[in-house]
Amino acid sequence: MIIPQYLKPCDKIGIIATARKISPEEIEPAIKKFSEWGLNVVLGKNIYAVSDQYAGDDNQRTSDLQEMLDDTNIKAIFIARGGYGTLRIIDKIDFSKFIKNPKWIIGYSDVTVLHSHIHKHFGIETLHACMPFNFPQDVQNNNALNTLKKALTGEELKYNIEINILNKTGKKTGILTGGNLSLLYALAGTPSDIDTAGKILFIEDLDEYLYHIDRMMMQLKRSGKLKNLAGLVVGGMTEMKDNTVPFGKNAYEIIAEAVAEYNYPVCFGFPAGHIEDNRALIMGRKVLLDVSGESVLLSF
């Protein structure tokens, strides 16, 4: 995989919105934090545009992403927030200049579209991490921001987390891939569909019915994406919903059942996803996943 250049003081970074609309007030804390880090922020021309729930129409959002990808002075592109919309524009993007001048693409949730597409076609690392919309209003540091900065500046990332009763022990290395489960499901069979063989798969999700989680896991299983993994890392499964007739299992139990027959390490409760403690993950990088009965280590 190709590693984009790490950031240094005075570098220019872009902020654009490829999905849901956003206001100046919602990203002001992030702009302040980036300035504190010594970075110069360039906003997309259409970042505050509005078209129904989107940050402008498809053409406006495409234009902002294309311009940031093509600008050699921009060293990283932050997607302002998630929601839905990147899937609608991914096939309109010309990545030819980005391939010649790789830069960090940062975000999670809906940004899974970009992570998946870029990894499959171009072999360039991206960053699954906190987005400007999620920066604390008081501009105080937390794990999400601290690990984001470490990843962007090339510091070592190594996570030791609490064990979970559903974990499966083992020690494996592999390229980290994945992201939001609903988006991985939506990308199946498209040009942005991921290859999971021999890789460490990360999944997380938000605001889904439990039976939807089961359906998506069954799709991954039936399509062979779970069979040949090196390992599985399960992040936040946040604000899950149930029907009047209960499904009978929580999200972690559903996932554990789907991978029960496979012999690779599985870690539940990793601090990443739609949670405040959303730690940075370098997608496309080789990682070590070491799950034992006493500890869990994910090391880049």
207 alpha carbon, distance to own chain's centre: 16
The CATH number given to 12-153 is 3.40.50.10740
Sign of the dihedral defined by the CA atoms of residues 51, 53, 56, 61, in that order: negative
The whole-number pLDDT of residue 139 equals 81
What pairs with residue 16 in β-bridges? Answer: 79
Q: What percent of the chain has pLDDT over 90?
A: 98
Residues known to be catalytic: 109, 204, 274
> What's the mean pLDDT in 176-199?
98
Geometric angle at alpha carbon 69, from 67 and 73, rounded to 5°: 85
pLDDT tens digits for 123-133?
A: 999 999 999 99
The runs of H, that is alpha helices, within the chain are 24-36, 58-70, 86-89, 96-100, 112-122, 143-153, 181-187, 210-222, 251-258
> Where does CATH 3.50.30.60 sit in the chain?
158-299
pTM of the model: 0.96
Residue 39 has pLDDT above 90, yes or no: yes
The whole-number pLDDT of residue 52 equals 98
What pairs with residue 12 in β-bridges? Answer: 40, 74
> Where does CATH 3.40.50.10740 sit in the chain?
12-153
According to CATH, the superfamily of the domain at 158-299 is LD-carboxypeptidase A C-terminal domain-like (3.50.30.60)
> What's the mean pLDDT in 62-90?
98
Confidence category of residue 289, pLDDT binned at 50, 70, 90: very high
